[in-house]
Amino acid sequence: MRQGPAQIGEVSVSGSAMSASADGWALRTQGLVKSYRRRRGVSVPAVDRLDLNVPAGGVHGFLGPNGSGKTTTIRMALGLIRADAGQIEIFGTQVPQRLPEVVDRVGAIVEQPKFFPNFSARRNLELLATGIGTPPAQVGKVLEQVGLSERARDRYKTYSLGMKQRLAIAATLLKDPDLLIFDEPTNGLDPAGIHAVRLTMRQLAGQGKTVLVSSHILAEVQQVADTVSIVGQGRLLAEGRVRDLLASAGGGFVVRATDPVATGELLRSAGFRLTQNPDGGLLVTLAPDGSAVDGAALNRFLAERGIFAAELYRQTDSLEQVFLDLTAGVALGQPSPPAPPTSPARPPATSQPPGSQPPPALPSSSEPLR
């Protein structure tokens, strides 16, 4: 599997959290490809030679706009659809060939969860636990984990959207999995519901589990994720720790002074690199020697020249801005470049021994009683 950081033209984004040993990955893909045929037989790639690395432990954000291949990638990892090419590993085990060996270590919400509307939350989970061979005592435990113990006897149809989503998370926890995969878990939720789901994900990560959450809402994921992978048009654009990605985006210090024009001219003449924000603040991005700006040194420089800033504070980019910067130089709407030659040393994820049956797919949370 690939060890290096994602490359974006001449830009390389990496983080030490992403350089774990081979047995430190919860989910990895290499050269993953999935295309769909449209009218007139035109093949359109949904996932385009994707190398995805999800470290074990913590919350990993799988980010990209709608239609960037996130759900397709998750479906291939769970054995719900087949890849055209490439390899997938879950905890070092190649899937879908050996999916039954790791299926109990994975819990996922990929579709809109469905439960019996006239049954209580507890009764729904008890039926599911019986169907999958989980001890009944586990039901109370998972309800406690997601904060639904006090409403466990209420009918499912009386639940808010946020509570329904937390119940779906509880269902994935019945087998105490090590990897939890949530596809757009906060869609349609109000702020209170989003906060509750976000808190649940952080608590699960605190228990040593790996939470992979896909989303197109980058600002939301920034508040919960430890590491991220950013994709566009089925291709990996960047990956790493959130703080490293934000640091690589630069940022700088905002200076507000009584005379911003004079202050800006002084800083430019001294060699500082800066721009003026729409609100009149000066964003100083680089020191005269080309290094990152030091706030204390900048403040001292101004004070020694008789300029006392009314405000001076650090401005950092958001994940959303990082994403926009990354995609600015990538022609995501253009055809992909030719694929590099693949190594014959390992078979692709779609290969099957002659005469063998397809491996079982992970059950979707939308069918909890199967």
What residues have CB less than 8 Å from 345, skipping those under 6 apart? none
**Packing angle of the helix pair 161-172, 121-132 (nearest 10 deg):** 20
**Packing angle of the helix pair 137-145, 121-132 (nearest 10 deg):** 130
pLDDT tens digits, one per residue of 59-75: 999 998 888 999 999 99
Residue at 339 is within a domain: no
Query: Is 282 in the same domain as 179?
Result: no
What phi and psi values does residue 56 have, to the nearest 5 degrees? -70, 135
Residue 326: strand pairing partners: none
Are the C-beta atoms of 90 and 105 separated by less than 8 Å?
yes
Query: Is 15 in the same domain as 28?
Result: yes
* More reliable by pLDDT, 274 or 11: 274
Query: Is 173 in the same domain as 221?
Result: yes
Query: Is 158 in the same domain as 124?
Result: yes
Query: Is 153 in the same domain as 230?
Result: yes
Residue at 340 is within a domain: no
Q: What band does 127 get if pLDDT is binned at 50, 70 and 90?
A: very high
CATH of the domain at 204: 3.40.50.300
Are the C-beta atoms of 74 and 181 separated by less than 8 Å?
yes
What residues have CB less than 8 Å from 171, skipping those under 6 apart? 107, 113, 124, 125, 128, 142, 365, 368
CB burial readout 297-325, b (16+ within 10 A) else e: ebbebbeeeebebeebeeeebebebbbeb
Residue at 82 is within a domain: yes
DSSP β-ladder status, 93-95 and 85-90 = antiparallel
Residue at 342 is within a domain: no
Query: Is 255 in the same domain as 243?
Result: no
What pLDDT was estimated at residue 311? 93
Query: Is 191 in the same domain as 52?
Result: yes
Query: Is 243 in the same domain as 255?
Result: no
Domain that holds residue 213: 6-247+321-328
In this model, does residue 316 exceed pLDDT 60? yes
Q: What band does 327 get if pLDDT is binned at 50, 70 and 90?
A: low
The Cα 181–Cα 80 span in angstroms is 14
Residue finishing a domain among 315, 336, 356: 315
* Mean predicted confidence (pLDDT) in 122-144: 95
What pTM was estimated for this model as a whole? 0.72
In this model, does residue 234 exceed pLDDT 60? yes
Query: Is 82 in the same domain as 134?
Result: yes
Of 189, 79, 80, the residue nearest 89 (C-alpha): 79
Query: Is 120 in the same domain as 147?
Result: yes
Are the C-beta atoms of 150 and 144 separated by less than 8 Å?
no
Query: Is 176 in the same domain as 75?
Result: yes
Query: Is 36 in the same domain as 157?
Result: yes
Are the C-beta atoms of 365 and 171 separated by less than 8 Å?
yes
CATH of the domain at 285: 3.30.70
Residue at 362 is within a domain: no
Residue at 346 is within a domain: no
Of 54, 136, 144, 58, the residue nearest 92 (C-alpha): 54
* More reliable by pLDDT, 363 or 30: 30
In this model, does residue 250 exceed pLDDT 90? no
In this model, does residue 3 exceed pLDDT 80? no
In the chain, the number of structural domains is 2
Extract the runs of DSSP E, i.e. beta strands, from the chain: 6-8, 11-13, 25-37, 43-55, 58-63, 85-90, 93-95, 106-109, 179-183, 210-215, 227-232, 235-241, 252-256, 273-276, 282-286, 311-315
- With a pLDDT cut of 90, the percent of the chain lying above it is 57
